[in-house]
C-alpha cells in the first residue's frame, strides 16, 4: 500500500475506505474548546506581525452538517444511536451535542475501517472525554475499552482562584478481540533525576562515566552442569555462561572481581535495562516548547515521542496507521520513522501543506513514497477547487509560492494583500513580498495597479500576482512598467505575474531564497528569542483594556471564567515559585 495524505473532510474520505483495512487509528480531533487556533508566529522581518493564520476553528453549532451526521448515526443501526438520542434528550441540539454528533458519525466510520484486532487511540481532554467514552463504549464491544491514558501535557502554569489548573489530556484506548499489543514496548526509559528509591538502592554503583550499575550473580543455580563448571579468575564454580561468553564479557569490562579469590560478578548497567514498566499515567513526555526543534508552528502539534510510544505499543513494522485529524502530521512522521505505513487526513489546506513540507524534509517524494488526494495537481482541479471554495483556493494558491496568508487568513480579509512571501533580502535581512491571488475570470490592469499601490504603501519591494486565468496584455504591460528592484545582488521585476498553470509547472516567482512557512516560523522564533523581553509592570498590565474585561470567545475565556470581575488582574500573574532557600533567607 502507498502512504496517503487526503485533503478534505474525513467523513467523506473514510466512507471510501475498505472495511477492516487499517491496523491502528490515532485521532486528535478538535476538543470542543470553543477556541480558534491560529498559527501564531511573529513576522521573521522583525516588523509587523501580520502573518497569523486561522488554522482551524474548534467551535461547533447545530446546523445541516450535524443533522446529516445524526441521520448517518441513525442509519448505522449502531447502539451508539441510542446513546446519542439519550444525550440529545437533555442537551437539545446544543453546541456540545453538535460536536458529539459529528464525532459519533466519524467514529463509526473509523470502527468500520479498523481491523477487528486493531487499536483506536482517541486523544481528548476533559471538555468532552466523559461523553466520548460512553459513545465509544457503544461503538466497541464489551471489554474492548483498555485504558484511559493520562498524558501530563504541561505543568500547572498559574494559580487558579476557584480550581486547580488543568494540565493533562486523556487518551482513550480501545482495541478489538485479542488486540495487537507489544508488551515489550510498555517500558519508559529511566529518568536519571527521578529514579525510584528501590532502583537507586539496587543500582548503587557508578562507573567513571557516571553510569549506574548493580552487581549480578554469575553462579549457576543448577549445580549439576559439568560443561559449565570451570575455573575463571582463579575461582572454580558452576557458572551461568560458557567459558567463551564469560571471557568476552570480561574483555568488555563487564565483570568485576572485588579481591583476589573472590567470586566475580557481572556489572548490569541501568541504561541497558528496558526501563520502568509503563502505567496509564504518562508524565515523562514533555509538550513541545516554544523553541523546540521539532516545533512547526502548527497549533496543537503533539510531541513526536508521544506518537512514537503509541505506535510502538500497538503496531509492528509494515502495519497501517491512520490519523484522520492529522494536523501537521506528527503521527505520520512517527509512523514513517518506525517503518509503518500511514494515512493522514485533514480538512485544512495549511495542514496538508505543512505535512508535505515535513515529508520533504524527511526526503520523501510525492508519488514515489506517498500520494496526496484532494489537493489540485493540475489546472482543471484548481478550477474545481475555486468553484467549490474560493477561500481554500486562495490558501492553496499561496502554498504554491511559499506564501503565508495575511490577516489571519480570514475570509473576506482581502485588502489587496492575500499573503506574504518572506525572502532573504541580504545575509541579515528578511523581507516580505506582497501576494495577490485572483481565481476569477474578471481580471484587468487595475488589479496590477492596485498591487503596485499596495506594494508601495506597505513599503515592500516586490509584488506577486497569482492568477488562475491568463493575464491580459494590458496587465502584463502594467507589470512591466512597474520596473525592477535590486535585491540579493540582482535586479528583479518589481511586479511579477504567475498563472496557476506556470506555478504547477515549476515556474516560480523570481525571488531570492524564500522562507517557507516552517522556516519563517523558526526564523521568527529565533528573532524573538534574541530580543530581550521588555519588563512589564503589573500596573502596565492592569492599564491594558483587554485585561480589564473577560475576553469573549476563544480559549482565554475558559481560563478566565472562574475569575471574579473585580479581581485586580483577570489574567492571573504567574507567580515565580518561591525557592526554599530564598524563603529561608527572607
Q: Could you tell me which stretch among 145-153, 300-308, 421-429, 450-458 binds ligand SAM (CB under 6 A)?
A: 300-308
At CA 549, angle to CA 544 and CA 552, rounded to 5?
Answer: 115
Binding range to ligand SAM, per CB under 6 A, among 69-77, 213-221, 295-303, 418-426: 295-303
Q: Is 17 in the site for ligand SAM (CB under 6 A)?
A: no
Question: CA angle at residue 15 from 10 to 18, to 5 degrees?
Answer: 115
Cβ of residue 298: shortest distance to ligand SAM, in angstroms?
A: 5
Which CB, 327 or 432, lies closer to ligand SAM? 327
**Residue of 3, 4, 5, 10 that binds ligand SAM (CB under 6 A):** 10
Q: Give the H/E segment covering residue 110.
A: helix 95-113
The answer to whether 270 and 203 have CB atoms below 8 angstroms apart is yes
| Nearest-angstrom CA–CA distance, 344 and 335 | 11
Residue 404 in contact with ligand SAM, rule: CB under 6 A: no
How far from chain centre, in Å, is Cα 17? Answer: 24
DSSP state of 466: E
Closest CA to 292 of 328, 321, 345: 328
What is the C-alpha to C-alpha distance for residues 503 and 27, in angstroms, rounded to an integer?
Answer: 34
Does residue 70 interact with ligand SAM by CB under 6 A?
no
From CA 299, how far away is CA 56, in angstroms rounded?
Answer: 9
Q: Which of 298, 370, 386, 465 binds ligand SAM (CB under 6 A)?
A: 298
Q: Measured between alpha carbons, how far is 5 from 349 in angstroms, rounded to an integer?
A: 12
Return the C-alpha cell found at 179. 488486540
Cell (9 digits) for 193: 533525576
Q: Which of 585, 457, 565, 555 is nearest to 157 (CA)?
A: 555
Q: What is the 3-state secondary structure (H, E, C) of 200-223?
A: HHHCCEECCCCCEEEEEECECCCC
Under rule CB under 6 A, residue 351 binds ligand SAM:
yes
Does residue number 53 form part of the binding site for ligand SAM (CB under 6 A)?
no
353 binds ligand SAM, rule: CB under 6 A: no
Per-residue H/E/C for 9-44: CHHHHHCCCCCCCEEEEEECCCCCCCEEEEEECCCC
According to the binding rule CB under 6 A, does residue 348 interact with ligand SAM? yes
In the numeric block, which cell numbers belong to residue 182?
Answer: 507489544
- Cell numbers found for residue 533: 523581553
Minimum distance from residue 154 beta carbon to ligand SAM (Å): 15
Instruction: Kindly state the smallest distance separating residue 320's Cβ from ligand SAM, in Å.
Output: 18
311 lies in the binding site for ligand SAM (CB under 6 A)? no
Q: What is the DSSP string of 362-383?
A: TT--BTTTEEEESS--SHHHHH
- Asked whether position 125 contacts ligand SAM by CB under 6 A, the answer is no
Check binding of 322 to ligand SAM (CB under 6 A): no
CA dihedral angle for residue 152, residue 153, residue 157, residue 158, rounded to 10 degrees: -60
Establish if 346 lies at the interface with ligand SAM (CB under 6 A): yes
Report the residue from 118, 176, 264, 327 that binds ligand SAM according to the rule CB under 6 A: 327
Size of the site for ligand SAM (CB under 6 A): 19
The verdict on 347 binding ligand SAM (CB under 6 A) reads: yes
Does residue 180 bind ligand SAM (CB under 6 A)? no
Nearer to ligand SAM, 315 or 330 (CB): 330
The residue to which cell 448505522 is assigned: 76
Cβ atoms of 60 and 32 within 8 Å: the answer is yes
Q: Which stretch binds ligand SAM (CB under 6 A): 28-36, 61-69, 371-379, 440-448?
A: 28-36
Number of C-beta neighbours around residue 41 at 10 A: 22
Question: Which CB sits closer to ligand SAM, 348 or 458?
Answer: 348
Closest among 42, 319, 70 to 179, alpha carbons compared: 319
* Given 69, 321, 328, 398, the residue binding ligand SAM (CB under 6 A): 328
| Region binding ligand SAM by CB under 6 A among candidate stretches 149-157, 327-335, 381-389, 453-461 | 327-335
Interacting residue with ligand SAM among 66, 345, 385, 523 (CB under 6 A):
345
Least distance (Å) from ligand SAM to the CB of residue 111? 17
Neighbours of 117 (CB within 10 A): 14
> Among 127, 301, 424, 559, which residue interacts with ligand SAM (rule: CB under 6 A)?
301
C-beta neighbour count of 472 within 10 angstroms: 14
* Least distance from ligand SAM to the Cβ atom of residue 571, Å: 24
* Cell of residue 294, nine digits: 521539532
Longest Cα separation, the chain: 100
Per CB under 6 A, does 300 bind ligand SAM? yes
- For ligand SAM, the nearest residue by Cβ is 327
Name the residue nearer to ligand SAM (CB basis): 28 or 353: 28
Residue 133 CB, nearest distance to ligand SAM (Å)?
A: 18
The SS3 call for residue 5 is strand
Closer to ligand SAM by Cβ: residue 180 or 346: 346
**By CB under 6 A, which span of 138-146, 251-259, 322-330, 426-434 interacts with ligand SAM?**
322-330
190 is an interface residue for ligand SAM by CB under 6 A: no
Stretch that binds ligand SAM, among 133-141, 142-150, 346-354, 395-403 (CB under 6 A): 346-354
Question: Is residue 374 involved in binding ligand SAM (CB under 6 A)?
Answer: no
Binding segment toward ligand SAM, per CB under 6 A, in 237-245, 298-306, 475-483, 569-577? 298-306
- Provide the binding-site residues for ligand SAM, judged by CB under 6 A: 9-10, 28-30, 56, 298, 300-302, 325, 327-328, 330, 345-348, 351
Amino acid at each position: 500500500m502507498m502512504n496517503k495524505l487526503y485533503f478534505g473532510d474525513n467523513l467523506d474520505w473514510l466512507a471510501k475506505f475498505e472495511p477492516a483495512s487499517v491496523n491502528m487509528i490515532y485521532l486528535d480531533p478538535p476538543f470542543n474548546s470553543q477556541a480558534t487556533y491560529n498559527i501564531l508566529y511573529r513576522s521573521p522581518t522583525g516588523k509587523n506581525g501580520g502573518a497569523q493564520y486561522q488554522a482551524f476553528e474548534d467551535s461547533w453549532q447545530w446546523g445541516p452538517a450535524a443533522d446529516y451526521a445524526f441521520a448517518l448515526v441513525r442509519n448505522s443501526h449502531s447502539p451508539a444511536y441510542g446513546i446519542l438520542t439519550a444525550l440529545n434528550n437533555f442537551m437539545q441540539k446544543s453546541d456540545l451535542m453538535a460536536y458529539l454528533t459529528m464525532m459519533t458519525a466519524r467514529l463509526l466510520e473509523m470502527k468500520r475501517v479498523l481491523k477487528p484486532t486493531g487499536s483506536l487511540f482517541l486523544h481528548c481532554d476533559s471538555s468532552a472525554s466523559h461523553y466520548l467514552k460512553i459513545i465509544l463504549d457503544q461503538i466497541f464491544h464489551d471489554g474492548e475499552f483498555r485504558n484511559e491514558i493520562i498524558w501530563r501535557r504541561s505543568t500547572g502554569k498559574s494559580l487558579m482562584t476557584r480550581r486547580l489548573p488543568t494540565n493533562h489530556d486523556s487518551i482513550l484506548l480501545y482495541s478489538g478481540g485479542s488486540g495487537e499489543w507489544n508488551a515489550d514496548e510498555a517500558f519508559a526509559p529511566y529518568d536519571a533525576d527521578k529514579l525510584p528509591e528501590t532502583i537507586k538502592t539496587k543500582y548503587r554503583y557508578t562507573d567513571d562515566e557516571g553510569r549506574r550499575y548493580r552487581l549480578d550473580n554469575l553462579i549457576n543455580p543448577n549445580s549439576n552442569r559439568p560443561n559449565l563448571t570451570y575455573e575463571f579468575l582463579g575461582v572454580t564454580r558452576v557458572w551461568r555462561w560458557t567459558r567463551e561468553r564469560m571471557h568476552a564479557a570480561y574483555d568488555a569490562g563487564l565483570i568485576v572481581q572485588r579481591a583476589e579469590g573472590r567470586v566475580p560478578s557481572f556489572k548490569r548497567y541501568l541504561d541497558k535495562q528496558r526501563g520502568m514498566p509503563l502505567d496509564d499515567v504518562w508524565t515523562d513526555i514533555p509538550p513541545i516548547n516554544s523553541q523546540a526543534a521539532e516545533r512547526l508552528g502548527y497549533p496543537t502539534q503533539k510531541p513526536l515521542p508521544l506518537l512514537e510510544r503509541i505506535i510502538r505499543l500497538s503496531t509492528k513494522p509494515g502495519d497501517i496507521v491512520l490519523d484522520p485529524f492529522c494536523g501537521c502530521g506528527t503521527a505520520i512522521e512517527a509512523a514513517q520513522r518506525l517503518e509503518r505505513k500511514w494515512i493522514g487526513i485533514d480538512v485544512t489546506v495549511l495542514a496538508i501543506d505543512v505535512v508535505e513540507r515535513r515529508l520533504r524534509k524527511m526526503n520523501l517524494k510525492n508519488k514515489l513514497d506517498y500520494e496526496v488526494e484532494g489537493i489540485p495537481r493540475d489546472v482543471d482541479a484548481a478550477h474545481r477547487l475555486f468553484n467549490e471554495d474560493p477561500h481554500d483556493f486562495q490558501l492553496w494558491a499561496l502554498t504554491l509560492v511559499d506564501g503565508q496568508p495575511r490577516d489571519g487568513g480570514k475570509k473576506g480579509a482581502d485588502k489587496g494583500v492575500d499573503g506574504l512571501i518572506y525572502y532573504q533580502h541580504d545575509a541579515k535581512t528578511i523581507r516580505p513580498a506582497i501576494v495577490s491571488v485572483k481565481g476569477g475570470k474578471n481580471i484587468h490592469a487595475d488589479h496590477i495597479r492596485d498591487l503596485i499601490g499596495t506594494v508601495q504603501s506597505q513599503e515592500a519591494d516586490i509584488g506577486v500576482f497569482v492568477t488562475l486565468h491568463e493575464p491580459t496584455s494590458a496587465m502584463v504591460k502594467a507589470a512591466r512598467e512597474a520596473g525592477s528592484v535590486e535585491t540579493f545582488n540582482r535586479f528583479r521585476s518589481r511586479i511579477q505575474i504567475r498563472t496557476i498553470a506556470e506555478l504547477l509547472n515549476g515556474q516560480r516567482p523570481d525571488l531570492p531564497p524564500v522562507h517557507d512557512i516552517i522556516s519563517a516560523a523558526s526564523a521568527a522564533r529565533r528573532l524573538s528569542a534574541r530580543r530581550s523581553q521588555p519588563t512589564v509592570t503589573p500596573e502596565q498590565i492592569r492599564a491594558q483594556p483587554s485585561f480589564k474585561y473577560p475576553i469573549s470567545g476563544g480559549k482565554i475565556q475558559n481560563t478566565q471564567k472562574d475569575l471574579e470581575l473585580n479581581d485586580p488582574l483577570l489574567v492571573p500573574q504567574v507567580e515565580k515559585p518561591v525557592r526554599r532557600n530564598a524563603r529561608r533567607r527572607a
